Amino acid sequence: MVKALPQLYLRLALGAGFFIIGCDRLGLWGPYGKPWVSWGDWKHFSAYAHEVMGFLPGGLAEVLAIIATIAEVSFGILLLLGVFIRQAAFGSGVLTGCFAIAMTISFGITSPINYSVFTASAASFLLSVQPGYRWSLDALLRGRSRS
């Protein structure tokens, strides 16, 4: 039982992080400029996303920013609920890996290291290869399907 606690902690930490930052871009935590708000609206996030993906055409960067936001909110919800954990963790590992690469291209290697983006990607991949997920809806549903 104690061995499952770090995995639960990792799942909830990743899930909350993805969900909270995704919702922040949509202004759900308040307007830009508040102490607990990073973006506060799409305009501020979009400007940053275009900087990170400055090596891409502007229209493509905007589409990718939209896709990334939808993915982050979705991965966050799935991880918090404990549903499709393996897939959500793998997807979040790919997403944050791509973000780390884009940050490296645009700002240099220290930027994604300073913001622990490689760490979040590695943690997501580690979560995706766990043999099982105790204390999740996945485990509960799997248990019911066997009975």
pLDDT in tens, 21-79: 999 999 999 999 999 999 999 999 999 999 999 999 989 999 999 999 999 999 999 99
High-pLDDT (> 90) share of the chain, %: 86
Residue 93 is part of which domain span?
Answer: 4-146
Res 1: pLDDT: 64
Determine if the pTM surpasses 0.75. Answer: yes
Are the beta carbons of 72 and 98 closer than 8 angstroms? no
**Total domains, the chain:** 1
Q: Residue 2, exposed/middle/buried by CB under 10 A (0-12, 13-18, 19+)?
A: exposed
Token pair recorded at residue 81: 């609920």
Confidence of residue 2 (pLDDT cuts 50, 70, 90): confident
91 has pLDDT over 80: yes
- Report helix, strand or coil for 53: coil
- Residues with Cβ within 8 Å of residue 1, at least 6 apart in sequence: 134
